[in-house]
Amino acid sequence: MRWEAGNRITLLRNGTEFFPALITSIESAQCEIYIQTYIYELDDTGLMIGNKLKAAAIRGVMVHLLLDGFGSRDLPPEYVLELEAFGIKVMFYRPKISAWSFKRSRLRRLHRKVSVFDGQHAYVGGINIIDDMNVPNNLDAPRVDYAVRVEGPLVQSIHASTRSLWRRLAWVHLREVPVNPSLAEPAFINNGMRAAFVVRDNVLHRRDIERAYLKAIGKARSEIVIASAYFVPGKKFRQALIQAAERGVRVRLLLQGRMEYWLMFATHEVYGIFLRHGIEIYEYRASFMHSKVAVMDNRWATVGSSNLDPFSLLLAREANILVQDKAFNAELKADLEQAIAEKSVQVRAGDWSRRHVFKRMFSWAVYVVVRLMIGLVGSKEKH
């Protein structure tokens, strides 16, 4: 991880801001497009993005689309062939993992959402290629998530990462390794932001995202706001938040209030200890919240794909942007505070201990199952 100066980082809220920006980038690309995503759903949004990628390929742009074999398992094979017929290069990350396998590789997914255009600008965040309204139970409220548009020298690191992963997988799949075109370096932006691109993989960067969080939590002096859809932090992470609260830092957690999967009940196992130490917990109830963002004081923020659970922190490929900029931090913080004030319900210590006995028992059982799953797939991390 290396901090770079001279960048412009633009916050994008939900698909309503992200997809129009992504489409503009696809339409203006002249040479090369790389897109990595966990889910590619063939709904209206997926069809729209696909049509734009086809048009780019027709005009001679080299388009590389990397999808996760589990997250995008429902993408029809005939549609993949259709994309390839237009010249789009499509690959799946770990496409053949048995649902009954306990191998560690089964849970090592490509969960990052990264796109790079002509090596000049990039998008990093938590938004998959799926319509905001494509949510469970036909809920009439959009999914909530974030991404950022990145311009400036930091794009070089993002570009190198996406190219490198594609080349390695091309070798594994016996596919043609693309010849990298000569592209201009992204311009340094005067009075730009300091930012870093941080990834989690299973070789050289196994704990980078978690370490970045822990370092920022350790330096926080006034406030920490974390919004995480899946929140089952390990021991070090729990201790870091508790220690921050004990030294007077106001810690607020904005967590998912609607249970999309039963394993999400494991989150409740940490409620009791956090509430006893004065950490504030808010459950987002307005819709399904998939946010993976945080703001600490006015000096550090992150937006990315990494949840704060064992699957993201120990197994999946993830990517986050870190930002040191007062204006950016204030914008993200204001957005989170509005969600806390208007669309969330605070979980209070007294209510949690008195009224939720069976929920706490069930949450403990689910938490044990999650820890066993991590053990069964062979994680050697002390977490």
- The CATH number that applies at residue 38 is 3.30.870.10
pLDDT of 273: 87
Which structural domain range is residue 13 located in? 4-172
111 is catalytic: yes
113 is catalytic: yes
- 52, 64, 89, 113: which one is catalytic? 113
292 is catalytic: yes
Could you give the number of structural domains in the chain? 2
Asked if residue 95 belongs to a domain, the reply is yes
Residues 250 and 120 reside in one and the same domain? no
Residues 6 or more apart whose Cβ sits within 8 Å of residue 284: 144, 227, 254, 255, 256, 257, 258, 339, 343, 344
Tens of pLDDT, residues 10-40:
999 999 999 999 999 999 999 999 999 999 9
Q: Over the Cα atoms of the chain, what is R_g?
A: 20
- 68, 89, 118, 325: which one is catalytic? 118
Residues 203 and 315 reside in one and the same domain? yes
Q: Taking the complete model, does pTM exceed 0.95, yes or no?
A: no
- CA 226 to CA 274: how far, in whole Å? 13
pLDDT of 361: 66
Asked if residue 381 belongs to a domain, the reply is no
pLDDT of 268: 77
Residues 100 and 208 reside in one and the same domain? no
pLDDT of 177: 86
Residues 243 and 205 reside in one and the same domain? yes
- 64, 268, 290, 333: which one is catalytic? 290
pLDDT of 382: 39
159 is catalytic: no
- 52, 64, 121, 292: which one is catalytic? 292
Kindly give the parts of the chain with pLDDT less than 70: 97-107, 138, 260-266, 352-383
44 is catalytic: no
As a dihedral over the C-alpha atoms of residue 89, residue 93, residue 95, residue 101, rounded to 10 degrees, the angle is: 180
pLDDT of 380: 43
Whose CA is closest to 291, among 214, 223, 230, 207? 230
- CA 170 to CA 62: how far, in whole Å? 15
Residues 98 and 162 reside in one and the same domain? yes
Instruction: Give the pair of three-digit tokens for residue 223.
Output: 């406030």
- CA 284 to CA 12: how far, in whole Å? 19
- CA 252 to CA 245: how far, in whole Å? 10
pLDDT of 284: 94
118 is catalytic: yes
- CA 51 to CA 72: how far, in whole Å? 18
pLDDT of 280: 97
- 201, 297, 356, 383: which one is catalytic? 297
- 52, 89, 111, 159: which one is catalytic? 111
Report the greatest alpha carbon distance in the chain. Answer: 64
pLDDT of 378: 47
